[in-house]
Chain A
Amino acid sequence: MKLTNKDILGIKELSVDEINLILDTAASFIEVSTREIKKVPTLRGKTVVNLFFEASTRTRTSFEIAGKRLSADTINISATTSSVVKGETLIDTARNLEAMNPDAIVIRHSAAGAPHMLARMVKQSIINAGDGAHEHPTQALLDMMTIKEKKGTVSGLKVAIVGDIAHSRVARSNIYGLTKMGSHVIVAGPAMMIPRDIARMGVTVYNNLAEAIKDVDIIMMLRIQLERQQQKIFPSLREYSSYFCLNRQNIKLAKEDVLVMHPGPINRGIEISPDIADGPYSIILDQVTNGVAVRMALLYLLIGGQR
């Protein structure tokens, strides 16, 4: 069993078998990060370029650590310190990187489809680390891995995704993945933040938090993208949080053993109250730990050995 494509562009393109292969492989990688010597020689001599055109702490660090723990050489390029500020186009940047012969390029870009374009242009493996409001496949994979680790399975669970669904690549990738794996996905948020035809992706839509999280197994809170407040898609943060902040009162509507997830970075007191973020239901930091394992699994499956 191996991956069909040379790239990981989105969850949409992955089969259920491929998702299971990635999750099982990632589960085996967890142990490497718990050793005293956190390194295996598997990707010795391979080069991974992290090309980040948008801000990131978790994803970029996670990819870098994943590459290093597999003995790959990792190089980080961020837009602000690269020739992009001199006006170089994405295609030229990519062609120049290709000429230095790395094995994989991890890219985050504000334009949806940027990784897909690169994947067609260069022979290296491209991993999408978030493209605009389109997909963030490694986040969805680490989310599914964390759910599977805690609940034993992904199928048959009720999962509520709450927040700005319209602008969220995390939501989109998770909807693709969770529905493929047999979860019942519910989305909720203010009407302005719910795409009109989202139900076509096979989800149930609610416009209030209480209905959405009733009897669910998992609540995934999305970050309110403060940078979008200028776009006036919601009246005020205070209003948003009075309707959609997950707190210790409304969480009682969910199942007793509900788990709370968040892709980070969290806005404390806006979409999630601090006592929930730090409380017993929260598996937010497990997500981060598993993120390294998922990215190790992807690098191993894509560039460990010949394809």
Chain B
Amino acid sequence: MQQKKVVMDADGIDRSLTRIAYEILEKNKGTEELCLVGIRTGGVFLAERLKKKLTSIEGVDLPVGILDITLYRDDLRLANKKPMLGKTDIPFSLDNRKVVLVDDVLFTGRTIRAAMDALIDFGRPKLIELAVLIDRGHRELPIRADFVGMNLPSSLWESVVVKLMEKNGVDEVVIEDDNQ
């Protein structure tokens, strides 16, 4: 039998994003040269939500891009099932911008490695920062997040699922034990 536990509800997600928005502004001293890039698919919706929050706080319109990292994955060679390739859409130059990468769950760090390689192909950002809703540990690369919604220590046999209104019809973070 599979065990499920809700570790974050809709209000929790919203509060975390609000805090992250303020932290982004604090760390970058405003919104100058700032842009957001969401990693498909979960990160895209979170980036859009962060943009709304930043806009309502500072009253400026930040550019938001969408990044699909499939073509940069290091496990394509090994993957049995080929992931469906999604569209990348970054309709602005990254040269000299402060880029905040947004993803839902930070795990091994391999997705972020791929995302950084992809970003560098688009230009030379001034800096890249990382915002994630959940950091579940188990890093396999020297990567850390600058902005974290929740640190969630987990075992490797558990899966952490971020469900969002935009794709799942509900806002919650669930931890499932696959070992049963």
Q: Is the CB of B121 within 8 A of A37?
A: yes
Interface residues of B in 60-101 (CB under 8 A from A): 68, 71-72, 76-82, 84-89
Interface residues of A in 281-307 (CB under 8 A from B): 297, 300-301, 304-306
A294 CB, nearest partner CB in chain B, Å:
13
A36 touches which of B71, B78, B123 (Cβ 8 Å): B123
Contacts of A24 in B (CB 8 A): 84-85
Contacts of A39 in B (CB 8 A): 121
Q: Is the CB of B88 within 8 A of A31?
A: yes
The SS class assigned to the A binding surface is: loop
Q: Is the CB of A41 within 8 A of B77?
A: no
B87 touches which of A28, A35, A42 (Cβ 8 Å): A28
Q: Is the CB of B89 within 8 A of A305?
A: no
Name A301's closest neighbour in chain B (CB-CB).
Answer: B82
Interface residues of A in 208-245 (CB under 8 A from B): none
- How far does the alpha carbon of A32 sit from the alpha carbon of B88 in the complex, in Å? 8
Contacts of B79 in A (CB 8 A): 305-306
B104-142 interface bits toward A, Cβ cutoff 8 Å, 1 = contact, 0 = none: 000000000000011001110000000000000000000
Interface size range of chain A in the complex: 20 to 34
Q: Is the CB of A41 within 8 A of B82?
A: no
- How far does the alpha carbon of A35 sit from the alpha carbon of B118 in the complex, in Å? 11
Q: Is the CB of B76 within 8 A of A35?
A: no
Does A205 sit at the interface, judged by CB under 8 A?
no
Q: Is the CB of B89 within 8 A of A31?
A: yes
Name A70's closest neighbour in chain B (CB-CB).
Answer: B71
Does A77 sit at the interface, judged by CB under 8 A?
no
- How far does the alpha carbon of A24 sit from the alpha carbon of B83 in the complex, in Å? 13
Interface residues of A in 64-94 (CB under 8 A from B): 70
Does A40 sit at the interface, judged by CB under 8 A?
yes
Contacts of A25 in B (CB 8 A): 84-85
Name A41's closest neighbour in chain B (CB-CB).
Answer: B72
Q: A24-B84, A31-B88, A42-B71 are in contact. List 5 more A-B contacts (CB 8 A).
A: A2-B81, A32-B88, A35-B122, A70-B71, A305-B77
Residue ranges of A at the interface with B (Cβ–Cβ < 8 Å): 1-2, 24-25, 27-29, 31-32, 35-37, 39-42, 70, 297, 300-301, 304-306
List 12 A-B pairs, Cβ < 8 Å.
A1-B84, A24-B85, A25-B84, A28-B88, A29-B85, A37-B121, A40-B118, A40-B121, A41-B71, A300-B85, A305-B82, A306-B79
Q: Which 10 A-B pairs have the closest CB atoms?
A: A40-B71, A305-B76, A42-B71, A28-B85, A37-B121, A28-B87, A25-B85, A31-B88, A2-B82, A305-B79
Residue ranges of B at the interface with A (Cβ–Cβ < 8 Å): 68, 71-72, 76-82, 84-89, 117-118, 121-123
